[in-house]
Amino acid sequence: METQGQAGTPSALRKATVGIRRPVSGRWPIVALLPAFAFCATFFATPQLSRAQQWPGSGNPDPGIPHSNFPQNSSATDPDSGNPNPTDPLAAMESGMGMLPLMPVDNSRLINAESCQTWTAAAVNSPTVSVARLGVPGSASHEFQKACGDFKENKLRSAEDHARKAVKIYPGYAAAWVMLGEILQADHKDPDAIQACQNGKNADPRYAPPYICLAGFAATANDWDEAYSLANHALTLDPATDPYAYLYTATADFHLKRVDQAELYARSAEKLDKWNHLPQVHMLLAQIYGVEKKPDDEANELRKFVKEAPHDADWEAARTRLAQMETESDVKK
């Protein structure tokens, strides 16, 4: 479909100028066209500049204020105007995205080329698609899918072999590098897993999953500043579709004692997690409400976690804490 910026004069404008008489010579003097060129340059350049200034990470963030590089609205939520609440990071991000003319992404090929576990599946609908992601050859994608299937069946050695074949065929295959990182982590080969995710980051710096992968390892090492930095960067790359970026940012915020920020980002993760793939967000919110002395909210989040994550390592602790709270509540009554 032609656009004003891509195909010259729009069709509507062409129709409007059909009846205009041309000079006898059939040519417009160049001098007569200069004002029109100046007008077009001003018209197209100015809105793009103002939009770019509002894109996440493009402004001048205050290093003393967490997330100050995100587009925030200073007014309260107005349901009629649709202005986002300044305390809703996801709404602010979505508003920032709406200020840029994003190209619609056909993700049908990406679903086969990338989608498998956790972070790679979450990134399929990312608003930014690099040339490297679109250039995955069919043979590499085929090996990726074999690795994905074997990984889901816990056939780690076979999964690793297929993932390595995928990145050998196409070294720029960031999703396959992250898939390899997940496989190696499951096989208790953390140093190799970290290197695989680092390779994915190097292959495509604008692809969010490698940053999420590395943030997870930083969190395991209790390096919360690094975990925050990586997760926050992933969030700027994929601000409106990836709940993992919000969850990891919230978790780092919580451990860095920024409880209010942690709650905001955890809520955004919960909002994006429409299929309940991230029960950990409920455990995090329960911890946050425990610190904030909100027992009713804490118990509510614990109930969600216990229901949705029966096989999680924290399930027993959550159930014990919930039983304790329910007993204390009964005593008070």
Q: Is the pLDDT of residue 302 over 50?
A: yes
Pick the more confident residue, 107 or 325: 325
Whole-number percent of the chain with pLDDT over 90 = 49
Range ranked top by mean pLDDT from 5-9, 77-81, 83-87: 83-87
- Residue ranges covered by each domain of the chain: 109-207
pLDDT digits (tens, 9 = 90+) for 279-295: 999 999 999 999 999 99
**Collapsing DSSP states into helix, strand and coil, what is residue 232?**
helix
Q: Read off the pLDDT of residues 10-58 as tens digits, 9 standing for 90 and up.
A: 333 233 333 333 333 444 444 444 455 444 444 444 333 332 222 233 3
**Average pLDDT score, the chain:** 74
At residue 117 the predicted structure's pLDDT band, cuts being 50, 70 and 90, is low
d(CA 197, CA 184): 10
pTM for the full predicted model: 0.67
pLDDT at position 277: 85
pLDDT at site 99? 37
Of 108-117, 183-192, 217-226, 303-312, the range with the lowest mean pLDDT is: 108-117
- Dihedral over alpha carbons 19, 31, 49, 99 (to 10 degrees): 0
pLDDT in tens, 155-170: 999 999 999 999 999 9
The radius of gyration of the chain from alpha carbons, rounded to an integer in Å, stands at: 25
Confidence band of 257 (pLDDT split at 50, 70, 90): very high
Three-state secondary-structure class, residue 78: strand
The 10s digit of each residue's pLDDT in 214-232 is 999 999 999 999 999 999 9
- How far, in Å, CA of 231 to CA of 140, rounded? 28
Neighbours of 31 (CB within 10 A): 7
**Distance (Å, whole) CA 329 – CA 331:** 5
Give 303's pLDDT tier (boundaries 50, 70, 90): very high
DSSP code string of 26-59 = SS--HHHHHHHHHHHHHHHHHHHHHHHHTSTTSS
Beta bridge partners of 83: 78
Assigned token pair, 200: 């994915």
Q: Which band of pLDDT confidence, cut at 50, 70 and 90, is reported for residue 240?
A: confident
In order, the DSSP letters of 215-233 are: HHHHHHTT-HHHHHHHHHH
Residue 129 near residue 98, CB atoms below 8 Å: no
Range scoring the smallest mean pLDDT among 52-66, 200-214, 303-317? 52-66
Domain 109-207 has CATH 3.40.50.1010: no
pLDDT for 104: 41
Q: Which amino acid is at 222?
A: N
Nearest to 309 by CA among 288, 281, 289, 290: 281
Token pair belonging to 218: 């930083």
Question: Is residue 114 predicted with pLDDT exceeding 90?
Answer: no
